[in-house]
Amino acid sequence: MMQSNPIPALDPNPLPAPYWVFKLLLIVTFVLHIVAMNFLLGGGVLALTAKWRAKNGGFGGRLFSDVAKKMPVLLPATITLGIAPLLFVQVLYGQFFYTSSIVMAWPWFLVLAMLTAAYYGFYYVSFRSGQHGGKAGGVMLVSVILVFLIGFLFSNNLTLSQTPARWATKYFADPGGWNLNLTEPALIPRFLHFFTAAVAVGGIFLVFVALANWKRDREYARQVLQFGGKAFMYATMAQFVVGLVFLVSLPRGLRMLFMGDSPLAATLLLVGITGGIAAIFVMSGALRNENIRAAALYAPGVLAVTIACMAVMRDLLRDAYLSPYFHAGQFAVATQWSVLPLFLALFVAGVILWLVMMRRYGLLGGKKEIERPQP
């Protein structure tokens, strides 16, 4: 027997800035997180595919070790860029997110162990990428599977956080927290939608790898470009089916938002799909003409529009799921003017310093300052 309203009460502290500030930060940092995650997961999956296909010679082995060397950087990027939305999702949706996390506490806690294992696995592979032992592929596979499972757990938790009606039965069935959200009809389609996107964006990541090698080794770069570009195209085509299934798996009322009930949601869907189609065409043209500029700049540029639309749609969907329990007006707001400007100033300074750091190292189009090997 539960109380009629299972939603935990807010705490007494007001929001320390207007609602939209957190909403904006949440969506923007989530996009950054998800793109880093896509590079990691999609790049990992494609690198393994390339290596596996390379058994009979080819560029796959080299691509594998090129990507493997990047994994120990992509994982901390995913984590670090995940911490920011983790903060903001708690600010706005703590009542839901904490509760669903507790309901599936052990699997959620195990994310940490899985992250650690995946991380050390990636380091192992990258330190070993020179010597061609048989183990590197296996370890990489395990790490990539762990990353895949972590993503699946995130989808479990986030879908559960949006369906409070399910909490009580699950919680009381096992207060020890051995629960998932597998009975949610939209779970698998939703996660597949993320995974397919990861492969597509992973393809874009390979296009960047091709770009980095374009001047040094054209032959290799061409092969990587073709492989990555095709992966992007096929995955994005598959997305039309997966995305449709996802849409169909949503409760009717929510699905109808995207079919016209909400003009904003419907427009975003339309723009998003159009962007996807356009990106496929741009990429296909780029591959035909071996135009690295189009593949590495225009296609991702168009795709960025789609990703932005999708991220906002995801957020609209959450608020629609939660509309019986949650609305922006529920918060008292007392902006912390004594801190907020400090954050903004440090944030801007941080971004500038970060860019300088990257460029002085020769990354992001900077020229590496005087190289001199050291002892």
Partner 1 sequence: MNYPVWDVAFGAGLLIALVAILHVFVSHFAVGGGLFLVVTEHRARRKNDAALLGWLKKHTRFFVLVTVVFGAISGVGIWFTIALISPTATSNLIHAYVWGWAIEWVFFFLEITAALLYLYGWDKLEPRLHLWYGWIYFGAAYLSLVIINGIIAFMLTSGSWTKNHEFWKGFFNPTYFPSLAFRTAIALALAGIYALITASVEKDAGLKARIVRWCAWWIVPSLAVLPPLGWWYIRRIPADVWASARGPMPTATHYAGFAVVLLAVTFVLALLSLLKPGRMHLSFSLLVALVALGAMGSFEFVREAIRKPFVISNYLYANSLYSTQIPGDGGFSVDEVNAAGVLPSAKWASNRDLAGSNLAGVGHEIFRVECESCHTANAYRGLKHYIALRQWDESKIQAMAGGLEFMHNGVMPPFAGTDAERGVLAVYLNTIEPISAEAAVAATDGQTVFDQNCSMCHRVNASDPLFKNLTSDPAAAGEALKDLTALFPLMPDLKLTGPQRTALAEWINAQRSAKGFGNPAQGGK
- Can you tell me which of 101, 121, 190, 235 binds ligand HEM, judged by CB under 6 A? 190
- Can you tell me which of 15, 17, 25, 30 binds ligand HEM, judged by CB under 6 A? 30
Give the chain's length: 375
According to DSSP, residue 8 is labeled: P
Minimum distance, C-beta of residue 41 to ligand HEM, in the bound complex (Å): 5
Using CA atoms in the order 361, 366, 371, 374, what is the torsion angle rounded to 10 degrees?
A: 10
Contact 203, 42 (CB under 8 A): yes
The contact pattern for partner 1, residues 98-137, with x = CB under 8 A and - = no contact, is xx-xxx-x--xx-xx--xx--xx--x--------------
Shortest CA distance to 40 belongs to which of 127, 129, 115, 128?
115
Site for ligand HEM in 149-188 (CB under 6 A): 150-151, 154-155, 158
Q: Which long-range contacts (CB under 8 A, 24 or more apart) does 280-283 make?
A: 280/232, 280/233, 280/236, 280/237, 283/229, 283/232, 283/233
Partner touching 78 among partner 1, ligand HEM, none, CB below 5 to 8 Å by kind: ligand HEM
Name the segment binding partner 1 (CB under 8 A); options: 43-51, 93-101, 182-190, 266-274. 93-101
Nearer of residues 79 and 266 to ligand HEM, judged by Cβ: 79
51 is an interface residue for ligand HEM by CB under 6 A? no
- Can you tell me which of 54, 86, 256, 271 binds ligand HEM, judged by CB under 6 A? 86
Partner touching 178 among ligand HEM, partner 1, none, CB below 5 to 8 Å by kind: none
Find how far residue 149's CA is from the centre of its chain: 13
78 is an interface residue for ligand HEM by CB under 6 A? yes
d(CA 265, CA 253): 13
Inter-CA distances, 63 with 36, 81, 221, Å: 19, 26, 10
Shortest CA distance to 37 belongs to which of 115, 97, 106?
115
- Name residue 333's beta-bridge partners: 15
365 is an interface residue for partner 1 by CB under 8 A? no
d(CA 36, CA 31): 9
Nearer of residues 83 and 113 to ligand HEM, judged by Cβ: 83
d(CA 302, CA 105): 39
Partner touching 194 among partner 1, ligand HEM, none, CB below 5 to 8 Å by kind: ligand HEM
Partner touching 112 among partner 1, ligand HEM, none, CB below 5 to 8 Å by kind: partner 1
Site for partner 1 in 289-348 (CB under 8 A): 332, 336, 338-340, 342-343, 346-347
Buried b (16+ CB within 10 A) or exposed e, 121-147: bbebbbeebeeeeeebbebbbebbbbb
Nearer of residues 189 and 300 to ligand HEM, judged by Cβ: 189
Nearer of residues 259 and 358 to partner 1, judged by Cβ: 358
* Amino acid symbol at 242: V
d(CA 346, CA 18): 20
d(CA 280, CA 229): 9
SS3 call for 17: coil
| Joined tokens for residue 344 | 């903004």
Minimum distance, C-beta of residue 31 to ligand HEM, in the bound complex (Å): 10
- Can you tell me which of 85, 203, 243, 276 binds ligand HEM, judged by CB under 6 A? 85
Q: Residues touching partner 1: how many (CB under 8 A)? A: 76
- Can you tell me which of 83, 244, 348, 364 binds ligand HEM, judged by CB under 6 A? 83
Binding footprint of ligand HEM on the chain (CB under 6 A): 26, 30, 33, 37, 41, 78-79, 82-83, 85-86, 89, 147, 150-151, 154-155, 158, 190, 194
